[in-house]
Amino acid sequence: MVDILPENTPLWQSMEDAALEVLSSYGYSEIRLPIIESTELFARSIGEVTDIVEKEMYTFADRNDESMTLRPEGTAGCVRAVVQHNLAVTPQRLWYMGPMFRYERPQKGRQRQFHQLGVEAFGVATPDQDAELIALCRQLWCRLGVDDALQLEINTIGSAADRARYREALVDYLSLRRDQLDEDSQRRLETNPLRILDSKNPDTQSVLDEAPLLQDYVDADAQADFDQLLDYLGALNIPYAVNPRLVRGLDYYNKTVFEWTTGHLGAQSTVCGGGRYDTLVETFGGKATPAAGFAIGLERLTLLMQALDITVSTPADLYVITAGETAFRHSLPRLDALRRQYPELDIIQHLGGGSFKSQFKRADKSGAAWALVYGDAEVAAQQVTLKPLRADAEQRTIADEELDAFVAGYLAEAQGA
């Protein structure tokens, strides 16, 4: 489990703010979901023989001996909530953000507790919905300055029936070449053969070169929707690569699947993954409702921002220095009024006393733009001294009443900059 430290939270907050802005601009509403759900919920939706359910879940028996699981992803819980609260009206656009848990080998971009932003849209079966989701992603990438570093990979995996037919053909083909497969893929040949397609093992990949293609098993309806989606992406000027081996690791997907990948993060290259899951609502006992969604791995997105040297710093505006007890007391109502009048102004007051010299040292270190100084002389004369800490400006001493005008001017300038 990983702590997100104060030096990194500004980056997280700017990412979250941008996401919230983009999501509301498309009419998506937030839904807040529990972190623990019954184990069966995940097994049933994600699939018994997926990596997640087989070996990655944090599962425990609660005091009543019911099997519970820390959510490894958000779609299952979201669909449960949609069914439970009759939210599957058309269209229903939802998002959620929060921690997910998977028992994995921790490494860069892979943690046991990590965070996802999930976006789910219910009720629309046509590829205009898929296009909207992908366009929304791109808007977010642009706002964060990472759009040049992310590529869209996309595929259609057809219906469950299409995949069942393809699965047979693939198993026939691979069974004859079983000894050329890596150990993991040999095991998957029995359990989840489609996952072999995205094996990272180069030998396995070369065996796959001649393998039957999923494309050839996808029915005309799914293919037509896919072509329509690609046409919309063209209209949106979103570059994409059709990756015929992209299948995604969760059982509930059908038709469109996509991933946004980057070359900047090494092996953990997928920042966002999603697709259509038209049968999941029904699986959970709801009325048949088409749906599509995606999840962004927020750690990987912040790592990408860092790799691109995108920095966010939020230094204070004012650092307040006071000469002693009397000056401190004198400053209190003045700062209180200032905070009330300018909620956007960041004021750090020096606490714990100390010499002017040591207070100025702290002021410098804080990164604040100006020091606000109440010395004995200032207090006696109802004045305040303003010393620039970063700005190229003159130090000045002004009357208390003039502080308001100074702050207003400072904020106007800061907003203009």
Stretch that binds ligand ATP, among 61-69, 109-117, 234-242, 320-328 (CB under 6 A): 109-117
Question: Cβ 49 to ligand ATP, closest distance in Å?
Answer: 14
Candidate ranges 107-115, 202-210, 228-236, 355-363; the one touching ligand ATP (CB under 6 A): 107-115
Distance of CA 41 to the CA centre of its chain: 23
Q: How many CB atoms lie within 10 A of CB 355?
A: 9
Question: Alpha-carbon distance 110 to 104, whole Å?
Answer: 7
Sheet of 318-322, strand order = 347-349, 318-322, 370-374, 383-388, 396-399
Handedness of CA 78, 79, 80, 81 (dihedral sign): positive
Distance of CA 113 to the CA centre of its chain: 13
> 94 or 272: whose CB is closer to ligand ATP?
272
Of 112 and 334, the one with the shorter C-beta distance to ligand ATP is 112
- Taking the least distance from each CB to ligand ATP, the nearer of 156 and 383 is 156
Between residue 13 and residue 32, which ones bind ligand ATP under the rule CB under 6 A? none
Among 276, 300, 330, 350, binds ligand ATP (CB under 6 A): 300
Residue 46 or 214: the one with the smaller Cβ distance to ligand ATP is 46
58: amino acid identity, one letter: Y
Check residue 120 for interaction with ligand ATP (CB under 6 A). Answer: no
Q: Which residue is nearest to ligand ATP (CB)?
A: 297
Q: How far is the CB of 390 from ligand ATP (least distance, A)?
A: 36
> How many other CB atoms are found less than 10 A from the CB of residue 21?
12
How far is it, in rounded angstroms, from Cα 133 to Cα 22?
A: 11
The dihedral through the CA atoms of 245, 249, 253, 259 has a sign that is: negative
Q: How far apart are CA 350 and CA 287, in angstroms?
A: 60
Please, which of residues 41-80 interact with ligand ATP by CB under 6 A? 73
Considering only the stretches 158-166, 210-218, 226-234, 292-300, report the one whose residues sit in contact with ligand ATP under the rule CB under 6 A.
Answer: 292-300
Count of residues touching ligand ATP (by CB under 6 A): 18
> Using the rule CB under 6 A, which residue among 120, 299, 317, 378 binds ligand ATP?
299
Query: Which of 226, 258 has the CB closer to ligand ATP?
Result: 258
CA 229 to CA 196: how far, in whole Å?
26
Judged by CB, which is closer to ligand ATP: 49, or 347?
49
Q: CB count, 10 Å around CB of 213?
A: 14
* 192 lines the binding site for ligand ATP (CB under 6 A): no
- Please report whether residue 303 would count as binding ligand ATP according to CB under 6 A: no
What span, in angstroms and rounded, lies between the C-alpha atoms of 87 and 122? 9
Placement of tokens 């065996």 in the chain: 207
Residue 278 or 378: which CB sits closer to ligand ATP?
278
With contact defined as beta carbons under 8 Å apart, do 130 and 230 qualify? no
Specify whether the CB–CB gap between 198 and 146 falls below 8 A: no
Instruction: Determine the angle formed by the axes of helices 325-341 and 403-416, rounding to 10 degrees.
Output: 50
Residues 306-365 within binding reach of ligand ATP (CB under 6 A)? none
Tell me how far apart the alpha carbons of residues 384 and 401 are, in angstroms, rounded to a whole number: 10
Nearer to ligand ATP, 14 or 116 (CB): 116
Q: How far is CA 172 from CA 98, 193, 306, in A?
A: 42, 11, 45
Q: Which of 317, 306, 210 is nearest to 265 (CA)?
A: 306
Phi and psi for 237 in degrees, rounded to 5?
55, 40
Nearest to ligand ATP of 116, 383 (CB atom): 116
Kindly tell me which residue out of 192, 270, 302, 331 binds ligand ATP, with binding defined by CB under 6 A: 270
Any contact of residue 268 with ligand ATP (CB under 6 A)?
Answer: yes
N residues, the chain: 417
Q: Which is nearer to ligand ATP, 99 or 123 (CB)?
A: 99
Residues in region 139-158 near ligand ATP by CB under 6 A: none
Tell me how far, at minimum, the Cβ of 138 lies from ligand ATP, in Å: 16
> How many angstroms from the chain centroid is the CA of residue 288?
29
Is 111 an interacting residue with respect to ligand ATP (CB under 6 A)? Answer: yes
Nearer to ligand ATP, 77 or 109 (CB): 109
- The least distance separating ligand ATP from the CB of residue 102, rounded to whole angstroms, comes to 5
Contact residue for ligand ATP among 102, 138, 195, 276 (CB under 6 A): 102
Q: Which positions lie near ligand ATP, rule CB under 6 A?
A: 73, 102, 104, 109-111, 114, 116, 249, 268, 270-273, 295, 297, 299-300
